[in-house]
Structure formats: C-alpha cells, structure tokens
Amino acid sequence: MRFIIIILLFLLSTSIFAAESNSGPMPKHKWSFNGITGTFDRAALQRGFKVYQEVCSGCHSMKLLYYRDLRDIGFSEAEVKVIAAEYTVVDGPNDEGEMYDRDARPADRFVSPYANDNEARLSNNGAYPPDLSVITKARKYGEDYIYNFILGYEEPPEGMEIGDGMYYNKWVGGNQISMPQPIYDGSVDYDDGTDNNALQLTEDVVTFLKWAAEPELEVRKNLGIKVILFFLVLGTFIYFVKNKLWREVD
Amino acid sequence: MAENPNNKRRDFLQLSTISIGALGTAAFIWPFLSSMNPAEDTLALGTTEVDISSIEEGQSITVKWRGKPVFIRKRTKEEIEEAKEVNFTDLIDPEQDIDRVKKEEWLVLIGVCTHLGCVPLGQKLTDNKGEYNGWYCPCHGSHYDTSGRIRKGPAPNNLPVPPYSFLNDTTIKIG
Amino acid sequence: MSGNSEHRKYKNSFLNWIEFRLPIISYFEKEYGDYPMPKNCNYFWSFGALATITLVVMIVSGIFLAMNYTPHTDMAFDSVERIMRDVNYGWLLRYIHSNGAAFFFIVVYIHILRGMYYGSYKYPRELNWILGVFIYLLMMASAFMGYVLPWGQMSYWGATVITNLFSAIPFIGEGLKIWLLGDYTVGNATLNRFFALHYVLPFVILGVVGLHVAAVHVHGSNNPAGIDIKSKNDTVRFFPYMVMKDALAVCVFGVIISAVIFFGPNLMAEVDNYIPADPLVTPAHIVPNWYLAPFYAILRAIPDKLGGVLLMFGSIAILFVLPWLDRSKVRSCNFRPIYKWFVMLFFVNFFILGYVGMLPAEGLYLLIARIGLVYYFGFFLIITPFIHRIETPKSLPLGISDVYLGGGKEALNPNAQKEII
C-alpha cells in the first residue's frame, strides 16, 4: 500500500500549498455555499442583486452576465423581463442605418455604467472600477477578501498620509483605494423585511458576486458527489476482482 | 504462471464490475456530446419580437429567426380570397389556408424552400412571384401560392409556419 | 511472409479477414494481452497507464473546448467564460482540462521519478528514456501555450516573460523573439499561433507515446528489483493482471482528481488569470504554472540573463544523457544504499525548487533557489557518475519470483548484473 501513502503525501503537499495561500490574516466568513453540499440562498442572492443594482452598478459593470441569468436566482421569466426593461441598450443599425435605443431584453448582457473603459476612468479620477463578473475568482482569498474589504474602511492610523481622493482600507494592498466606502447601515432598503445593516448588506452582495462568478457551483458540487461515489464503488469492485485474480499468482 | 482466465466462466463479481465500468464510461461521454448542443446564449435568442405596424397591405418583410429568414406578409383581400378558394384536397401537401394563419391578413412563414433549402423569391414587389402569385424558388422552380403552399415543382411540402403569437395588434413574437 | 493458414486463428471470420490483411489484432493481443509484466511491479508501474489515459482525456476535452473557443484577443477571455456559463457542461470540460493538465504533470513526474529510482533508464532502455524526455518537453510546450489561451493577465505576462527568454540569445535573439510572436509584443498573431500549436502538439505527444510504449515492450518492463526477466514464471500477462491493477489505480486517481475538479477547481489556478489581459498593467508578481516552477526557479537563480536561460535549458537537456551519466551496474535503488538517499533528496530538492519558483525571487528564497540549483546539477554531474566508486551495492536476488515471494535476499553478485556500457 505504498501507493496510497504516496498519494496521501501528494495530497498533503497540495493541501500545504492551499493552506499556505489561505492561512493569511484574512478572517473567514461562514458562507452558505461553502462545504461539499453548499448551496446559494436564493433570497440572499436576490437581496444581493438589489444591493448591486443600487450601489455597485453605479460604477462597476458585470459584462459577462445576462439578464436571463437572473432566472437562476429565483426570478420568474416575467420578473426578469421587467428588470431588463429598466435598462436601455443601443441596438442597430436599423433600416435607415441609424443606431437606436431600446429597452434591454433578457437576452442582453448587463448594461455597463460607462460606454467604454476610458469613460469609466475619466469619471473615477483615473481609477478603473473593475468588472465584477468574476471578481471572487479574480482576488486572492476570493469572497472572504471581498467581504472583509467592503467592511474594511476605517480612519487611517495616525501619521499615515492619505492621498487626494483616496480612502483608507484595512485590507487593500497599500491600504489606500480611490473607491469610497460603498455600504453603510441602511444603504439599501430590503423588500422582504430583512435587517439591512452593513454586515447583512455585504454578506448578501458578496453571495450575489460569488454566484455571478460561479453560477455552476451547485450543479458542480452535486455532480461531484455522484462522480466520487461512482469511483469509490467501481474501485471497491475492482479491488475485489483484482485480489481474487492475483491470489492465483505465485 | 496463472492460466488464461478467459477459459474460466466469468463470475458475478466480474460481470458487475464490467457493467459498472461500462455505465460510468457511457455517463462520462454524455457531457461531451451534450456540449455540442446549442448553448444558453444561442437558445436565449430563440425568440424574436417583430414590430409589424409599418407593413402596408400587400407588402412583406423578412426577419431573421434562429438564423433563418422568416417572411411576414400582410395579404391583400384578393390574395386571401385566392388562398381560400382553392380546393385544398387537390394540393400536393393538402392544408387549408385557415390552418396556416392566426389572423387572416397576416401570413408568417419560414422562408426556406422545402426542397433543398434555398430562399424563395417573392418578398420584393419586383420579384418573380411564380405562377400562383406567392413565392417562387429559383433554384429548382418550385411555385408557392398566397398561403405559402407548394403548388408546382419539386418541393414536397408547404413553406412551414413557425411558432408565433400576437403580443398585441402591432407586435408578433416568433418562437 | 507466412502463409494464409498461420493467420487463421480467430473464431470470428471478420477478424481473420482483417488479420490476414493487417495483423493489427495479433499485434494488440501480443502487446496488450500476452505482454509479460514482471509480477513484482508495484503501483508505481501504473503511472504510465494513468498518464496515457490522462493524455487521451486531455485531447478529447480539448477538442470539445476548441469547438467553443475563439482565439482572438478581444474575444478569448469572454469565450472561455461563455464556455463556463452558457455551453452545456462547458464548466466541466474546462475544469477537466485545466486541472487535468496539472494532474498530467503530477502523474508524469511520479512516472519519471519512478524511472529514476528503479533505474529504468539504464541498458537496454536508454532510448525509451530519451523518448520520455521528448514527451516531457512537448508537454511543457503544450502546457505553456495552453495557459496563454484564456487570455487573462497571467496568460499574457507569462507569455511575455517566457518569449523574452529567447531574446537573451546573442545576435539573433531579438529577431527570433519577434518571429515567435509574429508581433512586437504578445498579440493576436501570437494567440492564434499558440492556439494552432496547442491543438496539434498533443497529437505529436500521442505519437511519441506510441513509440515510448513500443520501445519498452521490446525488452520488457523494468521492475522494483531491477533485475532481468529470466523465466516465464517471473511474469504475469498484461491482461487481465496488470489491467485490473491499473484499473484500480485509475479509480483512486479518479477520486482524487474529481475532488479537485468538483470541489476546488481553482485551487491550482492563479487568481490573476481571471482578470482579462491588459498590456499596460503587469501583475504584482508573475507566477508560472506550478508544474514548470522548478525551472523558473533555476532561471531566476542566476543574475545573468543569458546564463539563466542557458542553465534552465541545460537543466532539461541534462536529462537526455542521464543513462550515460549513471555508471553503476545496478538498476534499482533498492540495492543502492547510498545513491538511494541522493535520489530521494533530488526529488525533495526538485519540489523545493518548484516551491521557491512560485515565490518572489529575493532574500532567503533566492538563496534556497541557488542551493537547489547547485544540488540539481551536482546530482547529475558529480553524484550520479561517481557514486558507484564508493558505494557497495547490496546483493541482488536471483530471480523475480524469489522477490515476489519475499525470499531470495541473498544470491547474486551485483557485478554479475548485465553490463551497462
């Protein structure tokens, strides 16, 4: 069974790698989607979407998402249509060769706040607000970082010089960022009566962002359990067949 | 040296192992084949909404639906009469005009000849509309009437009617 | 050519029809049915089969990904995300492919280290080893180019850094780099040619794997005792004995790789590669794929650009001559009490090199990388060629059957082992 030991050694080494990149000072938050049977809380996703709409989407695009994707977080076909229609997209050219505005449809991508990257920079003091479609996959510590970061605005420590139009944040590299604190207690009113303190708002919006980055998460984990079970069962059968076979070898 | 096990009867354990393995292989192939089906973004474009308010009587427009041309024609009184008068049982592909429209004056068709997939002429006023005043396929000479039914030529079927519905008097949704 | 009658050996007349015209059926029967495997082979001998299966899975998943991928700088990133989001099971295909690449290297590394520990590269299997090093080189090239395709930040800057290595070559370097890129910097031309090559190279690998397997089947597989097969009793048929053993290994491998694919698909991915490539912003530190990191560590350990590049390529090239560097007549390290520990240390050293290769090249890490570099070359150039002068090998067992039964400790004078020229 030296084979097993080697495999375990390899697992150990990879987990050391993983632990090395996760153990930092970044506090971990308890997420509903963590663990092998983790799922997204649909209500939290819908609330998180509302926070995105009312707070983040002023500056941040989510270009990889379509309005139709919102069906996944529990909106009905009709609701998605209404949400999409709140936005305007440029379509065309029409028969006269002109571009024209129309209401967004479910098959359209999330409308970006700025026409292009340069306009986005210009409106934000030269800092480009990153696209949020896959943001939890694009930052070390993923959702935990985003969560701590949003809640990480503080008064700068004494003696620290903060640049013009910059804000102090405990978690961002260099501790300075040009995005002001986005979420306060009561920034967004929830329709379902959930307490809208900053902690709740942040948790909801980060849940939404995690879903946006990995919409396949639930299906993936579900299938994963089945695949691993399959290999275990097949492996057990093969183990017995193989043992029976090798017993004849002398 | 052990003897060739092929000579032995396969026991239950071996058979179940082989079946489980075969089952797993089949299941493993499925995602690969499935990935070749139209993706979500393709399916999302499976419906098209068309504004028909600007179409005059006797005119047609062509819109694209699922990559294919769809003919929308506002028929004149004469054309409707023509389509209804025919004794439909004598046709190549017998169908009543009333079964091919939702509102008499609006005819919606997939504009792909049922013979070999060419796009028939007849949308523009200057086009050759064929002997039955509907559409004419230039590839192999199929003639369609004012209800889009095949009347003459090699095509086996009438021009198909796509699934569509009137959202209101001026908008139809195809698909 | 032998007559018709000799070929008529199958019950099925269709098989006979084929066999008479192309003896492919008897070939497969001989190579994958009757092929005699030393019966003392342990599970390390399953990694060849695992690597082959992984290669096939990589090729198949790659083909299906290519059906949905767009090799254009404006669309590559989005098309990969479209695969993840909109294509049916696209996320599965992509995660199989990206994690499969990492596991392919893990499996091949174990396969190589097994060959080193048990002396599988020695007479008469030197060519086999050389073919294996070619496979490894082709794998590195494929993996590097594949990593560029998602067109994230790490794709772009990894490609920039690696192609800049070629500019270190005197006189022709700059021209060569531009020829490789098809542009002054990594651009659309680069992405297109990398896609084309990434598609075709795995098929080349498959071909070399065919030669690799054919070559090992000529003289038969090595075994943990490192001694030659002497009688039929030393072996078992490949089918079903080894097939069942390999199948069990595949199942264990399946559990491990599935755990990563389904529950930590981005564990081995760099977060920066989920940021679209931006030629104007370099990420804080550029990290190679971890499976190429040991060589990256060697590259950075040398303060001179050309020197670093030469040593890095040298560290791979030296693998080709390993069969001639090792002068010992004993294959398996099980019977080499001193060299055994140096080989193990080599494995550990390689791992450490990989680890520091992913950390910033400064301070302690740089020092570790330099020590590792010295040991890497010292192992090949000093220890391997000269250790046999001070090492007394243990007595080799008489035959494989004795080892298999746990006996036969005392018997053969190691110097009677087949000569290694």
Which of these is catalytic: B77, B102, B140, B173?
Answer: B140
Rounded CA separation A81/A67 (Å) = 8
Of the candidates A106, A230, A237, which has its C-beta nearest B17's C-beta? A237
Residue C239 touches partner A, C-beta closer than 8 Å:
no
Q: Indicate the domain borders of chain C.
A: 41-286, 293-390
What's the CATH fold of domain C41-286?
Cytochrome Bc1 Complex; Chain C (1.20.810)
Question: Looking at domain A29-65+109-215, what is its CATH homologous superfamily?
Answer: Cytochrome c-like domain (1.10.760.10)
What pLDDT digit, counting tens, does each position of B3-17 carry? 454 445 568 899 999
Task: Categorise residue B166: left if φ over 0, alpha if ψ from -120 to 50, beta otherwise.
Answer: beta
CB contacts, 8 Å: C89 with chain B: 31-32, 34-35
Q: Which residues contact B128 (CB under 8 A, 6 or more apart)?
A: B121, B122, B136, B138
Question: Are A237 and B41 an interchain contact pair (Cβ–Cβ within 8 Å)?
Answer: no
The answer to whether the CB of C411 falls within 8 A of the CB of C397 is yes
The model's pTM is 0.89
- What is the predicted pLDDT for the residue at A9? 55
Backbone angles phi, psi at B152, to 5 degrees: -155, 140
CB contacts, 8 Å: C240 with chain B: 5
* Chains in contact with chain A (at least 3 beta-carbon pairs closer than 8 A): B, C
Backbone angles phi, psi at A92, to 5 degrees: 125, -170
CB contacts, 8 Å: C236 with chain A: 249
Query: Looking at residues A11-36, what average pLDDT do you find?
Result: 68
Highest mean pLDDT among A155-159, B161-165, C77-81: C77-81
**In chain C, residues 200-239 whose CB comes closer than 8 Å to chain B:** 232-233, 235-237
Question: Are B45 and A107 an interchain contact pair (Cβ–Cβ within 8 Å)?
Answer: yes
- What is the predicted pLDDT for the residue at A34? 93
Please list the ranges in chain C whose pLDDT falls under 50.
Answer: 1-5, 408-410, 418-421
Residue C391 touches partner A, C-beta closer than 8 Å:
no
Task: Categorise residue C65: left if φ over 0, alpha if ψ from -120 to 50, beta otherwise.
Answer: alpha
- What is the predicted pLDDT for the residue at A24? 52
The reply to whether B140 belongs to the active site is: yes
The answer to whether the CB of B39 falls within 8 A of the CB of C82 is yes
pLDDT band at B2 (very low <50, low <70, confident <90, very high): very low
CB contacts, 8 Å: C247 with chain A: 238, 242
- What is the predicted pLDDT for the residue at C286? 85
Residue C61 touches partner B, C-beta closer than 8 Å:
yes
Candidates A65, A66, A230, partner chain B, best to mutate (most B CBs within 10 A): A230
Residue C92 touches partner A, C-beta closer than 8 Å:
yes
Of the candidates C86, C93, C236, which has its C-beta nearest B31's C-beta? C93
- pLDDT above 70: percentage of residues in chain A: 90
Q: Indicate the domain borders of chain A.
A: 29-65+109-215, 223-250
pLDDT band at B20 (very low <50, low <70, confident <90, very high): very high
Q: What value, to the nearest 5°, has the Cα angle with vertex A69 and ends A138 and C258?
A: 55
Cis before C240 (ω within 30): yes
pLDDT band at A97 (very low <50, low <70, confident <90, very high): confident
Residue C401 touches partner B, C-beta closer than 8 Å:
no
Q: What is the 3-state secondary structure (H, E, C) of chain C?
A: CCCHHHHCCCCCHHHHHHHHHCCHHHHHHHHHHHCEEECCCCHHHHHHHHHHHHHHHHHHHHHHHHCCCCCCCCCHHHHHHHHHHCCCCHHHHHHHHHHHHHHHHHHHHHHHHHHHHCCCCCCCCHHHHHHHHHHHHHHHHHHHHHHHCCCEHHHHHHHHHHHHHHHHCCCCHHHHHHHHHCCCCCCHHHHHHHHHHHHHHHHHHHHHHHHHHHHHHHHCCCCCCCCCCCCHHHEEEHHHHHHHHHHHHHHHHHHHHHHHHHHCCCCCCCHHHHCECCCCCCCCCCCCCHHHHHHHHHHHHCCCHHHHHHHHHHHHHHHHHHHHHCCCCCCCHHHCCCHHHHHHHHHHHHHHHHHHHCCCCCHHHHHHHHHHHHHHHHHHHHHHHHHHHCCCCCCECCCHHHHHCCCCCCCECHHHCCCCC
Angstroms from C340 CA to nearest CA on chain B: 32
ipTM of the complex: 0.91
Rounded CA separation B95/B101 (Å) = 11
pLDDT band at A91 (very low <50, low <70, confident <90, very high): confident
Question: Are C241 and B2 an interchain contact pair (Cβ–Cβ within 8 Å)?
Answer: yes
**Residue C399 half-sphere exposure toward CB, CA atoms < 13 A:** 10
